[in-house]
Amino acid sequence: MPAKAIKKTYARYPQAAREKKIGGTVSLNVLVSETGNVLDVKITKAAHPLLDEAAMRAVKDWVFEPATKNGVPVKIWTPVTMTFQMR
């Protein structure tokens, strides 16, 4: 069974990105521990350094229901995407 996010903190749109009218989607891989904590975050598809940093900072605070294999919690990489839209 895959890991499931149970507490999410969404990234704040950086003011500098808003001023420069930057938008895009950041794709991340998140390493979730056997206890549901985020151990590591890697960018798999970058949008812009300002947006990438905001997404990474936010996802580090997420809490997951851990993935299980044969009923036993396991460490797993799980994909996450965040989209920043210009307004």
Question: For the segment 14-51, what is each residue's pLDDT rounded down to a tens digit?
Answer: 999 989 999 999 999 999 999 999 999 999 999 999 99
The DSSP string of 49-87 is HHHHHHHHHHHTT-EEEPEEETTEEE-EEEEEEEEE---
Q: For position 87, what pLDDT does the model report? A: 65
- Domains of the chain in start order, with CATH, are 4-84 (3.30.2420.10)
Q: Residues 50-71: what's their mean pLDDT? A: 95
Instruction: Tell me: pLDDT of 85 over 90.
Output: no
- Global confidence as pTM: 0.89
Q: For position 10, what pLDDT does the model report? A: 86
